Amino acid sequence: MNVQPGLDQFLSLEPPPPRPRRRRGVRLAVLTVAVLAIGFVGLRYFYPHAVEGEILRLGMLNVELQGPGTLSALTEVSVGSRIQARIEELAVDRNDIVTKGEMLARLAFDDLSGELDATEASAHAAGRAVSAAQAERDRAVATLEKARATHERQVALLAKGVASEAGLEDALAARRQAEADLARAGRAIEQAEAERDAAMARIAVARAQLDDSVLRAPISGVVVSRARHVGEVLTPGSEVLHLVDPASLVLTARLDESGISAILPGQEARVTFARAGNAIPGHVLRLGREVDEETREFEVDIALDSLPANWALGQRAMARIMVERRGPVLTVPTSFLVWRDGHPGVWVASSSRARWREVALGESGAQRVEIRRGLSAGQRILKPVDLYPFMRVRLAGSAI
């Protein structure tokens, strides 16, 4: 009777719960995170990373001024019509090379030839009228000389009492008539000559108009644009073609007015066109004498030693003008500069660690800039690519 309750009690006891494995998983996760953290810190601050850079040394610096510019021409001309006419023929098109005096276009002026023929006929008639008037004057001169002789003889006979008063009066009247005829012949010559000169002037105008119906190249160069087509009617002054002399092409660059005192004609320059490869050498041709009131910039014309394979007026480019050669000075590549809060600086390798140093800049060149304060010769400077403070570094290709 007493055993049964004990057995039931024993059977009613539950087995103890198994030992939880959760703590082992947490410890493993913590250990993994710790290992990764140690590895990250070690990789970030203890493993030396190879970084591009250079050792600072004194050297020469080509001080340059730079500014944007556009391609323009000193010699260009717009070819247009001086008369109202229809385009009958276009002998050239864009990109064609022409020489001075070459025919570019022909205009149809239907009434011009007939007008010229009529004017020439009028001139011939006026010339014959002048000849007839001159012959009439010669006849009047002979008549006057005869009348004068008769009058003088009558005066002498009257003094001797041989001639009568009536005869003298008739001789005087004949003389005056001859003088009047001579004067009238002179005026007829003047009128005929005036008509002849007017006809010759009309011929000159007609021939000039005939010449204007053929458009010729006023300069040798390249046709850069065509504004009209065959069959269009032109009005006086309308443009047909635009010519440019390639030898007169210059880059008109815009520079800040602070550099105007440093620019001189003949200084070396380099011009880089957008999306072009190598820079094109040139020299300063002339300076502009006007500063833009808004941008405070002035213009400089740069003559190019050569032209890009494909050029166009208004094409943009960047110009660099060498104004001074300084040295020896400390310089760094402009791509190495890093700005913080408006102050320039450079990453340096100090005790094999990357550190940012603020510097004071001087004059600038094409790819390098002068360092006046903050660095010294022999220091190792780093290219700012994925750098951070105290990063362990070594110059690529060196053992530091």
Distance CA 84, CA 80 (A): 11
Average pLDDT over residues 313-328: 89
Distance CA 66, CA 237 (A): 40
Q: Are strands 368-373 and 103-108 parallel, antiparallel or unpaired?
A: unpaired
The CATH superfamily holding the domain 66-73+245-323 is: Efflux pump adaptor protein, beta barrel domain (2.40.30.170)
User: Does domain 50-62+327-395 match CATH 3.30.360.10?
Assistant: no
Encode pLDDT of 136-149 as tens digits: 777 777 777 777 77
Cα 266 to chain centroid distance, Å, stands at 19
Residue 382 and residue 46 in contact, taking contact as beta carbons nearer than 8 Å: no
Distance CA 273, CA 399 (A): 41
Q: What is the pLDDT of residue 252?
A: 96
pLDDT bucket at 399, cuts 50 / 70 / 90: very low
Encode pLDDT of 214-238 as tens digits: 899 999 999 999 998 898 888 888 8
Sequence-ordered list of residues with C-beta below 8 angstroms from that of 170, at least 6 positions apart, any chain: 154
Tokens of 355: 């550190």
Sequence-ordered list of residues with C-beta below 8 angstroms from that of 199, at least 6 positions apart, any chain: 119, 120, 122, 123, 125, 126
Sequence-ordered list of residues with C-beta below 8 angstroms from that of 146, at least 6 positions apart, any chain: 178
Q: What is the pLDDT of residue 10?
A: 47
pLDDT bucket at 390, cuts 50 / 70 / 90: confident
Reply yes or no on whether the pLDDT at 20 is more than 70: no
Average pLDDT over residues 17-29: 63
pTM of the model: 0.59
Q: What is the pLDDT of residue 3?
A: 47
pLDDT higher for 155 or 303? Answer: 303
Q: What is the pLDDT of residue 400?
A: 44
Residue 355 and residue 396 in contact, taking contact as beta carbons nearer than 8 Å: no
Task: For the domain made up of 110-211, give the CATH fold.
Answer: Helix Hairpins (1.10.287)
60, 165, 178, 181, 292 from 186: Cα distances, Å: 90, 32, 12, 9, 67
Reply yes or no on whether the pLDDT at 80 is more than 50: yes
Residue 158 and residue 166 in contact, taking contact as beta carbons nearer than 8 Å: no
pLDDT bucket at 21, cuts 50 / 70 / 90: low
Least confident of 13-27, 57-71, 311-325: 13-27
CATH architecture label of 81-109+214-243: Beta Barrel (2.40)
Reply yes or no on whether the pLDDT at 299 is more than 90: yes
Encode pLDDT of 174-219 as tens digits: 777 777 777 777 777 777 777 777 777 777 777 776 777 889 999 9
Reply yes or no on whether the pLDDT at 18 is more than 60: no
Distance CA 181, CA 117 (A): 35
Reply yes or no on whether the pLDDT at 346 is more than 80: yes
For the chain, the domains span 50-62+327-395, 66-73+245-323, 81-109+214-243, 110-211
DSSP conformational letter for 337:
-
Residue 214 and residue 104 in contact, taking contact as beta carbons nearer than 8 Å: no
**Average pLDDT of the chain?**
81
Distance CA 371, CA 376 (A): 9
DSSP conformational letter for 276:
-
